[in-house]
Chains A and B, each alone.
Chain A
């Protein structure tokens, strides 16, 4: 038994590196929180289960190949397909125009409804997006639902909140951090079973379709996949799979009828928009996200500087207990990932204090960077020669005056270069707060890239914006330093 597991693991490991033979069908999906599409089997985490898994297996079988799963983050599936990381991709992938512009996309194999979920107490108060004026509405980023919310942001003045997964929107809804969630009914149904006190309105806000994606060069494979899907619709094997996973609806029958018609044209293929229009549409939100990044970074840095100074002074002047406490703080904050700290502050503390996302992000970054700043100030304080402090003492300065007039100003000059360095690092680390639903520059770029199906233009714009923020700062710091460090005669 043990030997067989070993062999299986070895085969799996080798499959990752060995050249892929024509016998395997590599299919990409995201198993992270992916039920009922793709997820690890709760009874055997080495195995995958889900309706997309079974559809992939069905397609592989019809092609005479062995299915081999490739794990790809949901937001990166399109890019990964273009790179050729897998042959076909399916993981609840939605049919949107941008996708059809850059990839070969199959016929739709499932029709879903975008539905509104609210807390039970708000059942009658919030019945549609129009009722949610001024409220926060959550969804998964880079989806039709997110576009729907962006639209509603303009028409109904709601606030769209984007998450990286489909679990936290619902848990935050239960906690009261958001007032509604819009996602497809498959996800909503699952969340309702998992979380108490939520209710989903049955009306569809929009209708969408799941499709299978392949690289453009693979159009031939796509045509074969289309044929297999049509056959599976006709002979009922798709229905069997969906029924097994409790996601069958009669809407599917109407979809299958339309797809069976040879003149069927997919929704997405019509509306194509040029890259320039896309940039024009996303640039304002990109600029807003850049402003948010800057404000967040400045506020977090201000907190880090103030707290860092206090810690440094405590460690230089404090008694044994103070020093031990502060040293522990610094070691813990430096020694654990800032991402973990952000999660703990936002989600971990949610039962004690429900911080708004921006405040949690500011606190997380500020508290973490305070540890680094304090080390800079501490070493800068100790670098001021003892003799100067003795000279001050003889002249009659109090310890506080000595710190304020003599030690701190010189320490600050020494700390300026490493501080500038840290601020630039913070500017970039602020992209981590997107895990707390704060849409800052990197996250907005990711959404932009996902929606237009290319990283090139969004990536360049994003880089230019980061540089526009960090370069002037570096220049300013160098000028200050230059003013303080006159050339030696």
Chain B
């Protein structure tokens, strides 16, 4: 099976700091790959490189067209939820407004926020805004969907709903790559995990194996930090 995403030897320097020092990322159709690592380990930068927002100093990226859901959503503030979803289909893909509206409404319905279609972004809760952002990214039908910290602003109930949505998307043939701090979420919903440390891949594999029996010191340190953080919450 050919991978939907194949990135090799990614290197990226920002000023004096080397953020990526030779990273490989691979994802196959229908997979949900999670990037984990301490803050500053380069997770988000990898998503930005895959999305084409940043050009790596070295390495190559072969990826299908990607959609992206930002941690802070970045919805277009002057447009309602449904207009956010319709904008790219009408102006980039030149779909008629009527058809775009119909498709946008069905996407919002599928994500469970069809009733909020006419709300402005500032009227939406964090969870609602995130789903609109997912719908906006899906509206142009990208085979690859990138999500930056999708669980960061969600309570546990919402978190499971999101997981199910992501699994649905994967089942329908889409490939998902996300960054996450949430060990349980990754264990429950991801099909693969990549642990990053100091701009390198520390280890990778199935979530259950990597998270239950970490081989690398960096993974153990990461889990310890995340668990102590969860405990104090």
Residue positions of A touching B, CB distance < 8 A: 385, 387-388, 390-397, 401, 405-406, 409-410, 413, 484, 486, 488-489
Contacting residue for A484 out of B78, B88, B140, CB 8 A: B78
Known: A387-B72, A388-B74, A394-B67. A488 touches B53 (CB 8 A): no
Q: A385 CA to B120 CA in the complex, in Å?
A: 16
Q: A391 CA to B77 CA in the complex, in Å?
A: 12
Contact A396 B74 (CB under 8 A): no
Residues on the A chain within 8 Å of B137, using CB = 394-395
Known: A390-B53, A486-B120, A486-B122. A395 touches B136 (CB 8 A): yes
Residues on the B chain within 8 Å of A486, using CB = 120, 122-123
Closest to A389 in B: B74
- 1/0 contact string of B87-127 vs chain A (CB within 8 Å): 11001110000000000000000000000000010110000
Name 25 A/B residue pairs within 8 A (Cβ), A-sorted. A385-B74, A387-B72, A388-B74, A388-B77, A390-B74, A391-B74, A391-B136, A392-B76, A394-B51, A394-B52, A394-B66, A394-B67, A394-B68, A395-B67, A395-B88, A395-B92, A395-B136, A396-B92, A396-B140, A401-B91, A406-B76, A406-B87, A409-B78, A410-B77, A489-B123
Residues on the A chain within 8 Å of B185, using CB = none
Known: A394-B66, A486-B123. A410 touches B78 (CB 8 A): yes
Residue positions of B touching A, CB distance < 8 A: 51-53, 66-68, 70, 72, 74-78, 87-88, 91-93, 120, 122-123, 136-137, 140
Q: A401 CA to B77 CA in the complex, in Å?
A: 16
Instruction: Give the distance to chain B from A402, nearest Cβ to Cβ, in Å.
Output: 10
Q: A394 CA to B70 CA in the complex, in Å?
A: 11
Closest to B70 in A: A387
Q: Known contacts A385-B74, A401-B92; can you find 18 more A-B pairs with CB under 8 A? A: A388-B75, A388-B77, A390-B70, A391-B76, A393-B52, A393-B53, A394-B67, A394-B137, A395-B67, A396-B93, A397-B88, A401-B91, A405-B87, A406-B78, A406-B87, A410-B76, A484-B78, A488-B122
Q: A488 CA to B124 CA in the complex, in Å?
A: 10
Closest to A386 in B: B74
Which of A390, A395, A405, A413 gathers the greatest number of chain B CB atoms within 10 Å? A395
Chain B residues touching A, majority SS:
loop
Instruction: Give the distance to chain B from A75, nearest Cβ to Cβ, in Å.
Output: 50
Residues on the A chain within 8 Å of B93, using CB = 396
Residues on the A chain within 8 Å of B76, using CB = 388, 391-392, 406, 410
Q: A368 CA to B1 CA in the complex, in Å?
A: 65
Residues on the A chain within 8 Å of B88, using CB = 395-397
Known: A401-B91, A410-B77, A484-B78. A391 touches B68 (CB 8 A): yes
Residues on the A chain within 8 Å of B52, using CB = 393-394
Instruction: Give the distance to chain B from A395, nearest Cβ to Cβ, in Å.
Output: 4
Residues on the B chain within 8 Å of A397, using CB = 88, 91-92
Q: A392 CA to B76 CA in the complex, in Å?
A: 9
Closest to A388 in B: B74
Instruction: Give the distance to chain B from A393, nearest Cβ to Cβ, in Å.
Output: 7
Which of B67, B72, B78 gathers the greatest number of chain A CB atoms within 10 Å? B78
Q: A172 CA to B130 CA in the complex, in Å?
A: 68
Contact B140 A395 (CB under 8 A): yes
Residues on the A chain within 8 Å of B72, using CB = 387
Instruction: Give the distance to chain A from B84, nearest Cβ to Cβ, in Å.
Output: 9
Closest to A397 in B: B92
Instruction: Give the distance to chain A from B108, nearest Cβ to Cβ, in Å.
Output: 17
Known: A390-B53, A486-B120. A405 touches B70 (CB 8 A): no
